[in-house]
Amino acid sequence: MNMLENYISEKWMLGDGEGQSLYNAVTGDYIASASSKGIDFEAALEYARSNGNAALRKMTFHERGRMLKALALHLRNHLEKFYAISYQTGATKADSWIDIEGGIGNLFANASLRKKFQDETFCIDGESHNFGKNNSFMGTHILTPKEGVAIHINAFNFPVWGMLEKCAVNWLAGMPAIVKPATVTSYLTQAVVKEIIASNILPKGALQLVCGSAGDLLNYVTAQDVVTFTGSATTGLLLKSYPKIVSESVSFNMEADSLNCIVLGNDVTPEMPEWDIFIKEVRKEMTAKAGQKCTAIRRIFVPENKIESVWKSITASLSQVAIGDPLNEKVRMGSLAGQDQRKEVKSQVQKLLASSQLIYGSLDSVSLIDADEKKGAFLSPLLLLNEKPFESNEVHSVEAFGPVSTIMPYKNIDEAIELSKKGKGSLCSSIVTADNKIAKQYVLEAATHHGRILVLNNECAKESTGHGSPLPLLVHGGPGRAGGGEEMGGVRGVKHYLQRTAIQGSPTMITNITNVFQPNAKGKISEKHPFKKYFEELEIGEQIITKKRIITSEDIDRFADLSGDHFYAHKETTDFAGTMFEQKVAHGYFIMSIAAGLFVEGYEKNPVLLNYGIDELRFTKPVYPGTEIHIRFTCKEKLPSDKKEETDIDKGIVKWFVEMLDCSNEPIVGVATILTMVQRKV
């Protein structure tokens, strides 16, 4: 008997007993058995905390990001192997691409996110706040990696993406993971984990794998751990209320299957491109992964005067879908994940048929290519019609997790919005419309019940990733039935694994703690001009005070002529009564330009390669002719850059805090954060 190994505490090990038998979803052939019986889960968690967490916490965000990139590049070299195994789950090449390369894509996306963070083991979160009249007391927030383990309990439908989209985020945040995939497709997850471990890219303890049951794993969680769950709402609620999770206040993120919907705007007619876009989107969502997607369209809302035309178009489109062995190039829809899954879907469809009628497909037979209906877990796409959606409960509460969807009529957009909410919370919704007003009303009024809304029309259809595609930089999750959680979402997702702490103190103390210069902190006067220093030589807080310059009326006139900016406030002939100014005022951008002339040291070639831009610029006080100004120029933050090519110059980005000061009493007339690209010495 072939047994899947679990990966625990840096060892591949078998569970005790026979375990659960796993079968090829297409042929019905035996693949392996999986068991986790006998594993010491308490020891596994402790190993992750003592080794994986300790190692990852010592790495900076940039080091973790580069680790993710290296891992993604490594896994991309083994795609052929992963695809060959994925076919056994019933997935077509297109289905497997979403799962495998989509999962690897999450590693790349999160690797790039490192640029959004400091090159530190922690990061500042949000703005800083001054609390003292004398500018000596302030506060800000920092985020630090939690000291526990991310425990991921995943669904069967995406054995690779489900793991990598979560692990990419917790690794970037600085936490290790224990992954518990759904057992029925865990053999594919295991194949990817084997390559991850073989790469030696992750520190020891950063990843462990449980192919069998989770056993008593959750008995040993602590407040520093994070548990995520993807799957049915019923199972999710049971886990969320697990005694140790409740008593320890363990962070729990739930992403549950939901009754997602699509709406056809009442402006769309058969001759419009949006009509075909709608039909294709419904067909794709019903047949991709054989409808086994937590984001799949389960409810289809159509204007009542177009309902017959729409369902006829959908059925005609579904009839063209070739079903069978995914290895056949003609096949566009494979099988469900297993025989048990097919039984479950049929059972749920029977519940739906209590108030709906089947208008396409069959529960009992399906035409296949190169496959045996009895051996494989195949099911025909099933389109149902419910003509009274306001009187039926089943269609808004029962989910058949397969190629099943129900079409329903609505009278006006208000009804469509109301119907969309009857699912009591979903991961995503779509509306297909060419009317901006319809789109705006739907989005704003339906948003409370959906985690993501796609507005689809002819303008974006070619580049749209579609109704059912969560993106790494956008949140994935939803309210109510969908679980009430969020994952991914770029920086938002990373913060889920970090502890937010408010810190208070003097600006100088906060600067030294965060390694980011805070306004009103004491600077370190530099005898050598900072522009003459290489990236690694610069210190946070290093500062120069520039020479002074008097702003003249002639300066303002020359800048107006040079820039073409002859706004009335810059003219001497203007009557300033009723304006915000007392007299002719200097252009804000002129003051910024003068600032650059004062702080730039550019007579000789130096390590500063170029001006990279301005993040923040504010003009806080008018500057009139005769005003004498000078600049306080401070090294605020340093961010390393990676070489794209071996021949690239080794460099980093330096942020400078620029304060433009009126010499008479030193009030700030302007502030900015400018960025320069600075060469490294070695």
Annotated catalytic sites, by residue? 255, 294
Residue 618: CA count within 13 A, CB half-sphere: 7
Residue 123: CA count within 13 A, CB half-sphere: 23
Q: What are phi and psi of 253, to 5 degrees?
A: -115, 125
Cα–Cα distance between 553 and 570 in angstroms, integer? Answer: 9
Cα–Cα distance between 533 and 230 in angstroms, integer? Answer: 51
Cα–Cα distance between 661 and 659 in angstroms, integer? Answer: 6
**Side-by-side strand order, sheet with 3-4:** 3-4, 30-34, 20-23
Q: In 247-277, which positions are buried (b, 16+ CB within 10 angstroms) versus exposed (e)?
A: eeebbbbbbbbbbbbbbbbbbbeeebebbbb
Cα–Cα distance between 657 and 637 in angstroms, integer? Answer: 9
Cα–Cα distance between 381 and 315 in angstroms, integer? Answer: 10
Q: In 138-162, which positions are buried (b, 16+ CB within 10 angstroms) versus exposed (e)?
A: bebebbbbbbbbbbbbbbbbbbbbb
Cα–Cα distance between 110 and 136 in angstroms, integer? Answer: 38
Cα–Cα distance between 19 and 454 in angstroms, integer? Answer: 42
* Closest to 452 (Cα-Cα) out of 475, 418, 473, 421: 475
Q: What are phi and psi of 425, to 5 degrees?
A: 110, 125
Cα–Cα distance between 579 and 315 in angstroms, integer? Answer: 67
Alpha helices in 434-481 (DSSP H): 436-446
**Terminal CA-CA length for the chain:** 57
- Measured CA to CA in angstroms, residue 545 lies from 115, 126, 333, 598 at distances of 30, 28, 69, 9
**Residues in CB range of 64: below 8 A, 6 or more apart:** 56, 114, 171, 172, 173, 174
* CB contact at 8 A, 326 and 95: yes
Strand partners, 462: none
Cα–Cα distance between 420 and 437 in angstroms, integer? Answer: 18
Provide the 10 A C-beta neighbour count for residue 593. Answer: 14
